[in-house]
Amino acid sequence: MGKEIKEFESKTPKKFSLWKKIREISCHPLILGIDISDYSIEILQLDNQKNIKLYARAILEKGIVEDAKIKKREKLGKILEETFLKAGINGLVKKWKVRIKGLFSLPESKTFIKVFEFEERENLKEKIQEKIKETVPIPFEELYWDYYELSTNSEKPKVLAVAVPKEIVQDYIHFFLSHQIDPVVFDIEAGSIGRALLPPGEQINSTAIVDIGARTSVINIFNPKKELSLSVTVYYAGNYFTQAIAKKLTISEEEANKIKEEAGFEREPVSSILKECSLTLIKEIKDTLKYYQSRFGNRVEKIILAGGSALLPGIKEYFQKHFEEKVEIGQPLQNIQKTSPLFDSRKAILFANVIGLALRGIEKNFIDAGINLLPEDLKKQVKILHREREKFFRYIFIYFIAEVFILLIICYILFRLGILKLKIPI
């Protein structure tokens, strides 16, 4: 980790320069949501009114990134630079001499998400550490971790803790820094997707977001305060559906995937195969909802489908037949301004993760607005720079008000002495 910290620190000139320091603090950084999956790179920046300022997307060839691991660093770096060029970011960086601040998310398959309950709040952080040591099958020294306390009616503190192997985070830190990006947030996908898909201002008990990806389906349940309270990963997802179709119809997986996307749950013979395969996933979802209700005392009222498989024709109607809870397809565009034509509303669910990251980027305290698995050393430095920038603008505002106040006093004194006369035109 020492190498990454040295690289991070090297961005500040060793010889102190007041002008450079003022410019560093006063220039608004480019805060970007960056979503790197096995299949694509997406970058997105929103302004404070939630309008899209910058957006670009690039498709990744198979094997560049596999299950969130960077396999071909140079190729990924080249595509990332091309994506920045497409979005016009390179020109902004050169013109305004600003740094890129990246918000990134890690998939649940690479993290350990645990919920712990304690009798009292005293020494809570130390107690969480001990629980992580007991429940995570990786030495504690090889983990980065973070937590937040859940809102409950009970006096007993209940926390959601997330841990991730250091090597995964360090690999991405090194990659980002080598491309002039300062990583400021390492979120989890559940957090960013929840931020994008949970309707603003909606008052309901609890919501389940079922993210049906390629390899896994992740069942994330959010409490009435929109806090992630439970996350369960199951291995029944898009690839499983495709393989079942290929086997039953004796066709290639490529062909099976194509007809799966076209026919979905609406046309035979594909619909029967998908319905049969989905029963296992549906059972897992029902079991998770029951467990959540028994442990947290809250009932899920709505199920939101997300991920690529949420686009399969007829999936919402078929799932609704199996649940009392309302089932709907996620609509991430509801949380941003819809003036931009960049997103096809039908396929907007594919961009939920990057939209959620960009939404976090416009929060006032985005560094601590949720789980952040950035190493503490780097997180501390990011916070210092963020606070310095806030202080800079606060001091500028106070200085301006003071100057105006002094000028008014001087004018008043001159007026009282008769030196300055106020002429009112008739």
Token pair listed for 26: 């006063």
d(CA 130, CA 124): 10
Crossing angle between the packed helical segments 270-296 and 238-249, to the nearest 10 degrees: 150
Closest CA to 168 of 183, 158, 157: 183
Structural domain spans, the chain: 2-374
Q: Are 223 and 292 in contact (CB under 8 A)?
A: no
Q: Half-sphere exposure of residue 309, counting CA atoms within 13 Å on the CB side?
A: 28
Token pair listed for 42: 């997406």
d(CA 370, CA 105): 12
Give every strand in the sheet of 158-165, ordered side by side: 112-117, 158-165, 143-149
Residues 6+ apart with CB under 8 A from 327: 302, 303, 305, 316, 319, 320
Token pair listed for 294: 């028994």
201: left (phi over 0), alpha (psi -120 to 50) or beta: left
What architecture is domain 2-374?
2-Layer Sandwich (3.30)
DSSP letter, residue 110: G
Q: What is the per-residue pLDDT for 93? A: 66
> What value does the CA radius of gyration of the chain take, rounded to a whole number of Å?
25
d(CA 319, CA 280): 12
d(CA 222, CA 199): 12
Four-point Cα dihedral 344, 348, 351, 354, nearest 10: 100
Four-point Cα dihedral 219, 220, 224, 227, nearest 10: 170
Report strand pairing: 181-188 vs 100-106: parallel
Closest CA to 140 of 130, 151, 150: 130
Helix (H, G, I), strand (E, B) or coil at 1: coil
d(CA 292, CA 300): 8
* Cis peptide bond upstream of 269, omega within 30: yes
Q: What is the pLDDT along the chain (426 residues), one digit of tens a residue?
A: 455 445 444 444 444 454 454 444 444 578 999 999 988 999 999 988 898 888 999 999 989 999 889 999 999 999 999 999 888 887 666 665 677 899 999 988 889 999 999 998 899 999 999 999 999 999 999 999 999 999 877 788 999 999 999 999 999 999 999 998 999 999 999 999 999 999 877 778 899 999 999 889 999 999 999 999 999 999 999 999 999 999 999 999 999 999 999 999 999 999 999 999 999 999 999 999 999 999 988 999 999 999 999 999 999 999 999 999 999 999 998 888 865 555 667 788 889 999 999 999 999 889 989 999 999 888 887 766 565 555 555 666 677 788 888 888 888 787 777 776 666 555
